[in-house]
């Protein structure tokens, strides 16, 4: 059990569907992240939010749309995805300003695009 | 720019033997260094970190890592490996300078297989 909860754990969606991944952190942190992990590439940072403000977008296609309504919740809205977007999507959080700014991850959401 | 290299895709070790997972890094300034472990079908779990101070850092599950500034390395070690240590291990680095922000750069991962 971690302090970062992701739902759903598994999602299968068609290329024309719209779905969302949800993340909630219970650690009192002020920064949240989305990472993508696929078999062929190392961990890729997608988005960073500090105090609800997006501070980094790592050239992510617009079919991925993040939303951070408050410091505890983060969403990743998905639409018109491609099969190559199938991957494990990891949410994470950290406390900016603390020594080292250690990032803590959720269990991930396995996404399959068919 | 910051980068991490994990030169071994896989490490095989017999249970009870010492385990070492290698990591080298590159940053502009001084580094914050991290190790994470990922068990099958799970997220990444934080193992340990180097911020400053003692070069030998102790972490969870009996793991430790040694920071070597001259060799720009941060190898993960465990004196006696267990079958349950079989997992994917990631090294990560963040530059201490403010401009680096929150960005944590990960290595490609090393798969550890501990055989009974």
The 10 Å CB-count burial string (b at 16+, else e) for A66-89 is bebeebbebbbebeebeeebbbbb
∠ CA B14-B16-B22 to the nearest 5 degrees? 65
pLDDT band at residue B12 under the 50/70/90 scheme: very high
- Which chain B residue is nearest to residue A42, measuring alpha carbons? B108
Cβ distance B32 to A50 less than 8 Å, yes or no, reads no
CA–CA min distance B56, chain A (Å): 16
pLDDT band at residue A80 under the 50/70/90 scheme: very high
In three-state secondary structure terms, B61 is helix
pLDDT digits (tens, 9 = 90+) for B46-85: 999 998 888 999 999 999 999 999 999 999 999 999 999 9
Report the pLDDT value the prediction gives residue A79, as an integer from 0 to 100: 94
Which member of A2, A42, A56 has the closest CB to residue B103?
A56
- Which chain A residue is nearest to residue B88, measuring alpha carbons? A42
Predicted confidence (pLDDT) at residue B99 exceeds the cutoff of 90 = no
DSSP conformation letters of chain A: --SEEEE-SEEEE-TT-EEEEEEEE-S--SEEEEEEEETTEEEEEEEEEETTEEEEE-S--TTEEEEEEETTEEEEEEES--GGG-EEEEEEEE-TTSTT---EE---EEEEE-
Q: Which residues of B touch A (CB under 8 A)?
A: 32, 34, 36, 41-46, 49, 51, 90, 94, 101-104, 106-109
Average pLDDT of span B34-38: 96
């Amino acid at each position: 059990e971690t302090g970062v909860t992701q739902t759903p754990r598994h999602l299968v969606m068609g290329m024309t569907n719209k779905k969302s991944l949800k993340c909630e952190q219970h650690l009192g942190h002020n920064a949240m992240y989305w990472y993508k992990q696929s078999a062929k590439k190392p961990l890729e940072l997608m988005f960073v939010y500090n105090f609800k403000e997006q501070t980094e977008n790592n050239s992510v296609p617009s079919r991925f749309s993040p939303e951070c309504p408050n410091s505890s919740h983060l969403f990743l809205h998905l639409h018109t995805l491609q099969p190559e977007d199938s991957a494990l999507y990891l949410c994470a959080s950290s406390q900016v300003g603390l020594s080292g700014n250690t990032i803590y991850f959720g269990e991930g959401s396995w996404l399959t695009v068919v | 720019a910051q980068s991490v290299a994990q030169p071994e895709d896989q490490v095989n070790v017999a249970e009870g033997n010492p385990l070492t997972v290698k990591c080298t890094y590159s940053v502009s300034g001084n580094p914050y260094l991290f190790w994470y472990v990922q068990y099958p079908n799970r997220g990444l779990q934080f193992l340990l970190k180097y911020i400053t101070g003692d070069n030998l850092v102790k972490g969870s599950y009996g793991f430790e890592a040694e920071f070597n500034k001259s060799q720009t390395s941060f190898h993960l070690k465990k004196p006696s490996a267990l079958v349950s240590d079989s997992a994917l291990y990631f090294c990560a680095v963040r530059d201490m300078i403010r401009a680096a922000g929150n960005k944590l750069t990960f290595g490609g991962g090393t798969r550890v297989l501990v055989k009974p």
